[in-house]
């Protein structure tokens, strides 16, 4: 596999010794923030993982290989020109020797290939508003359904149809755990989401649930941690989603378009909250991974 997947020495050693490892994505680095702000978010997320006692494994495609454990210098190459890689795109990008930033789904696919079972992100993808026009459902959901992993997030991105996504998560057999909350966080907003399938109180509880879920043949588990600073941008989000549709923005371009417009028109407020919640979720994923390694 070495010609296809490159695992950093640090990550490889941690996996071999069954120590806690947390996968981090690069789509939010390349496409989730105005460049070069995403790089700082990625590095701060890695620091949060380390602070909680786990090893960060930032994932992306570079120089013809899927890299698991990017160096800080390599992370700098994840500019807005990088391809956005869902699970379908990983192999193509490696073979075509392009730079590719992995989504949650793409990161999970890469992580599964080397046995990493924990990741942190901002908000999971899901069912886009207005389904079936457009007929857009994030590949994150299918990846969660088929890969055994815990994804620490602030719920589902609020630019989506969150109740429909919640239903689909149930259909796919994915537990949605509220971290010290009864409802799913709405990405930038702590409250107002649909009820979670279960509330959990700490990382150790999530680790025990994950262990049991996997023994029973289950796969992905979504953990929703509310952002520390809650922001209500419902109206602005509705306007921007409608505008994106009017302008014919579709497919993989929708999420980056809406996030960028939100960051711009909220005078940077969504950008700040998004950054902080991503870093906090990376730290939570690490706490869960550490608790799981100690089981």
Instruction: Please report, as ranges, the residues that interact with Mn ion according to CB under 5 A.
Output: 136
Identify whether 84 is a catalytic site residue: no
Active site residue 25: yes
**Backbone region of residue 189 per phi and psi (left: phi > 0; alpha: psi in -120 to 50; beta: other values):** beta
Q: How far is the C-alpha of 234 from the C-alpha of 189, rounded, in Å?
A: 9
What are phi and psi for residue 82, nearest 5 degrees?
-60, 145
Asked if 215 and 232 touch (Cβ cutoff 8 Å), the reply is no
Applying CB under 6 A, does 226 fall inside the site for ligand PSU? no
Write the DSSP assignment of 199-257 as a string of letters.
EE-SHHHHHHHHHHHHHTT---EEEE---SS----HHHHHHHHHHHHHTT--GGGHHHH
Cβ nearer to ligand PSU, comparing 119 with 209: 119
Shortest distance in whole angstroms from residue 232 CB to ligand PSU? 17
Q: Nearest residue to ligand PSU, using CB?
A: 122
Assign 3-class secondary structure to 12-61.
HHHHHCCCCEEEECCHHHHHCCCCCHHHHHHHHHHHHHHHCCCEEEEEEE
C-beta of 140: minimal distance to ligand PSU in Å? Answer: 5
Residue 45 touches ligand PSU, criterion: CB under 6 A:
no
The residues in 126-155 that bind ligand PSU, with binding defined as CB under 6 A, are 138-140
Give yes or no for residue 122 binding ligand PSU (CB under 6 A). yes
The nearest distance, CB 99 to ligand PSU, in angstroms, is: 15
Helix (H) or strand (E) holding 112: helix 104-114
Q: Which of Mn ion, ligand PSU, none does residue 210 bind (CB under 5 to 8 Å by kind)?
A: none
Using the minimum distance from each CB to ligand PSU, give the nearer residue, 32 or 224: 32
- Which of 125, 175, 178, 185 touches ligand PSU by CB under 6 A? 125
The binder of 123, among ligand PSU, Mn ion, none, by C-beta within 5 to 8 A per type, is ligand PSU
Q: How far is the CB of 240 from Mn ion (least distance, A)?
A: 16
41 counts as binding ligand PSU under rule CB under 6 A: no
Kindly report the number of other CB atoms within 10 A of residue 50's CB atom: 15
CA-CA distance, 177 to 180, in Å (whole number)? 9
Q: Which of 27, 58, 158, 266 binds ligand PSU (CB under 6 A)?
A: 27
Residue 281: contacted member of Mn ion, ligand PSU, none (CB under 5 to 8 Å, by partner type) = none
The Cα-based distances of 179 to 52, 152, 206, 233, 274 in angstroms read: 17, 9, 9, 22, 18
Count of alpha carbons within 13 angstroms of residue 17, beta-carbon side: 12
Which of the following is catalytic: 74, 81, 84, 157?
A: 157
The binder of 219, among Mn ion, ligand PSU, none, by C-beta within 5 to 8 A per type, is none
Residues that bind ligand PSU in the complex, under the rule CB under 6 A: 25, 27-28, 31-32, 103-105, 121-123, 125, 138-140, 252, 255, 259, 274, 278
So which residues are the catalytic ones?
25, 157
């Amino acid at each position: 596999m070495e010609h296809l997947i490159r695992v950093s020495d640090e990550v490889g050693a941690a996996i071999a010794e069954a120590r806690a490892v947390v996968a981090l994505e690069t789509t939010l680095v390349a496409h989730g923030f105005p460049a070069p702000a995403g790089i700082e978010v990625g590095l701060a997320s890695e620091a949060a993982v380390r602070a909680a006692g786990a090893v960060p494994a930032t994932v992306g495609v570079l120089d013809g290989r899927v890299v698991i454990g990017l160096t800080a210098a390599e992370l700098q190459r994840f500019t807005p020109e990088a391809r956005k890689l869902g699970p379908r795109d990983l192999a193509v990008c490696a073979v075509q020797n392009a730079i590719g930033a992995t989504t949650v789904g793409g990161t999970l696919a890469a992580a599964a290939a080397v046995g990493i079972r924990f990741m942190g992100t901002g908000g999971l993808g899901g069912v886009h508003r207005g389904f079936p026009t457009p007929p857009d459902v994030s590949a994150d959901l299918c990846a969660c359904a088929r890969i055994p992993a815990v994804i620490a997030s602030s719920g589902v991105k609020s630019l989506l149809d969150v109740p429909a996504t919640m239903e689909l998560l149930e259909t796919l057999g994915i537990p949605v755990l509220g971290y010290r909350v009864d409802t799913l966080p709405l990405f930038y907003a702590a409250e107002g989401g649909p009820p979670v399938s279960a509330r959990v109180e700490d990382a150790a509880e999530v680790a025990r649930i994950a262990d049991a879920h996997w023994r029973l043949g289950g796969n992905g588990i979504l953990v929703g941690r509310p952002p520390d600073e809650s922001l209500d941008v419902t109206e602005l989000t509705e306007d921007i989603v409608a505008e994106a549709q009017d302008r014919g923005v579709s497919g993989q371009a929708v999420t980056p378009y809406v996030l960028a417009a939100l960051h711009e028109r909220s005078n940077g407020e969504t950008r700040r909250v998004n950054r902080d919640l991503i870093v906090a979720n990376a730290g939570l994923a690490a706490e869960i991974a550490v608790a799981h390694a100690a089981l």
